[in-house]
Amino acid sequence: MMPWEGAPQDRLWLAWPASGYALGDSDDTAQAAQRTWAAVANAAAEFEPVTVVVDPSDVAAARAHLSSDIELREAPLDDAWMRDMGPTYVIDEAAAGGPALGAVDWIFNGWGDPGWAEWTKDAEIAEAVIGWSGGERIASSIVNEGGGIHVDGLGTVLLTETVQRGAGRNPQLSRADIEAELRRTIGATTAIWLDRGLTRDYEKFGTRGHVDIVAAFAAPGRVLVHDQTDPSHPDHAVTAEVIERLSNSRDASGNLLEVVRLPAPAVLRAKDVEGVDDWVDYSYVNHVLVNGGVIACGFDDPADEVAAAILAEQYPGRNVVTVDARELFARGGGIHCITQQQPSVPPLAE
């Protein structure tokens, strides 16, 4: 089963931004990307081991930006979104000899085969990471990404219609087909379907509806949800529908979910890496949990402190560290999107 993301971890995985759209078309945009990826990795390294996969041509640049405590692994890369191209880790509690690490290798096609994406190299990264981490590879038959699912560790999974069954991924499959594959691979017995994701996520560099900027389990039975309160923003209607859906949903234990709202930042529009102005999808939901900490998105916005306080309350005993994530969102994602946690294997019960 895929553990809740707050379970103990052995390490956090990232990839270093390689040549391509993530770096942009100038030295300034490339350096902005590198600084932001490094800030996330360095913040996480204060809490647990961190490994960054680096294209062989970028080792010197990565080493110059990253803490000396961070391990580098070399592999050819197209891009740097480890949550999506990397493996999704699971724990097999029933393995012979005791609990064992497994890792799902989804089919990755650059978020639904958009015309701009390159993914030939990235499609091989999950298998490489699995080999380095020592897990058992579980090949999946569906196109999916780690950012397209969120779990409570007890069998509940959140997902969206426009990702798992959208054009370019698995339009030929029914909900039942998708649910059967998620049951086989990550142990999900209860799927809670959302109709769609945030508005900007459907533009050029979007994922077409990843759930990890919309909702996340703060704990089994409790869900953090992006709440856009400004009625002029198109996500006002989107998040109202999501909140209503989740408030009336039951988890794998049969309990109604408790919904905790994370307010959207006050800013409503921003430019992407190509300079195109659009509605923001800035979301505090897109944080990553590490041992003893939370690496949270910041946007130089008055709501940053409000969100950090809510996260501290929802994750007692964890230190909340905020990293400016605007350069990530300009490229189509956030802190959760560039990271992937490797859970610790529980010791054999005596």
Q: Which residues are catalytic?
A: 337
Asked if 141 contacts 104 with a C-beta cutoff of 8 angstroms, the reply is no
Q: Which residues pair with 190 in a beta bridge?
A: 156
Q: What is the largest CA-CA distance in the chain?
A: 59
Q: Which structure tokens are listed for 44? A: 């996480």
Buried b (16+ CB within 10 A) or exposed e, 71-105: eeeebebbbbbbbbbbbbbbbbeeeeeeebbbbbb
Give the Cα separation of 165 and 184 in Å (integer).
18
End-to-end CA, the chain: 21
Asked if 248 contacts 192 with a C-beta cutoff of 8 angstroms, the reply is no
DSSP code per residue over 63-91: HHHS-TTSEEEE---S---HHHHS-EEEE
Write the CA distances from 164 to 123, 189, 235, 269, 289, integer angstroms.
Answer: 17, 16, 21, 28, 24
